Amino acid sequence: MAIPIKKEKYTYKDYLSWKEDKKWEIIDGEVYAMSPAPSRIHQEISGNLFFYIKTYLLDKTCKVYAAPFDVRLSDGEEDEEIKNVVQPDIAVICDEHKLDYRGAKGAPDFIIEIVSPSSTFLDYVKKLNLYGEYGVREYWIVDPKDENVLVYKVSRDDKYGKPQIYNNTDEIKVSIFDNLIIDLKKIF
């Protein structure tokens, strides 16, 4: 749900000044309030995916983080002037130079968003475009209601092509890793 705009564009500097009892995201300088606590099903799916990925990454250099975890997407502007701050449900970062004490600055390699009724437009439209623009190599949109996953991958022209759609009985090979296969029967 969008917050009424009081300024032309909000930045990470504004974000840092807001109360910590509410969660916000900024996309292209516009502020979006995140829903309160996610549903139980949302949390189960998130936990299952996080566990699967974390277990796979135990002896690797990539790191996985679950929300709340700030990801600042930048075009090279100073930290406080960044106009894109998101908290993906799950983010995998393989370049340790993108990590700092505040979270991540730069595009994660892999992001998963789990759709809730209030986040549909953000996940399917705003974040899809944002993550594609900043070069997130693989983006999953997980729909708990329909028990399916849309997988977007960066193609040769550095754009997302048509998504691959998987249902709750499929397995998905995570393209950024050599042999991580996620069995959706164990996720949903």
CA 163 to chain centre: 16
**Residue 110 counted as domain residue:** yes
Number of domains in the chain: 1
Instruction: Give pLDDT, residue 172.
Output: 98
DSSP-assigned states of every residue in 100-117: ETTEEES--SEEEEE--T
Whether 42 is in a domain gets the answer yes
Q: Do the domain assignments include residue 144? A: yes
pLDDT for position 117: 87
In a domain, 152, yes or no: yes
pLDDT at res. 156: 76
Within-domain flag for 15: no
Of the CA atoms within 13 Å of residue 147, those in its CB half-sphere come to 13
Question: In the prediction, which pLDDT does 185 show?
Answer: 97
Domain assignment present for residue 154? The answer is yes
pLDDT score recorded for residue 2: 43
Residue 42's domain comprises 38-186
DSSP 3-state of 150: strand
Q: What average pLDDT does range 110-114 have in this prediction?
A: 98
CB of 97 within 8 A of CB of 73? Answer: no
Domain of residue 94, CATH code: 3.90.1570.10
- List, for residues 33-78, the tens digit of each pLDDT value: 887 778 999 999 999 999 999 999 999 999 999 999 999 999 888 9
Answer whether residue 4 shows pLDDT above 70.
no
Terminal-residue alpha carbon distance, the chain: 26
Q: DSSP label at 11?
A: -
**Residue 1 confidence (pLDDT) above 80:** no
Is 75 within a domain? yes
* pLDDT > 70: percent of the chain: 96
**Residue 167 domain-assigned?**
yes
Give the model's confidence band at 5: pLDDT under 50 very low, under 70 low, under 90 confident, else very high. very low
Segment 79-101 mean pLDDT: 96
**Which of 166 and 159 is assigned the larger pLDDT?**
166
Whether the predicted pLDDT of 8 surpasses 60: yes
Supply the pLDDT for residue 7: 64
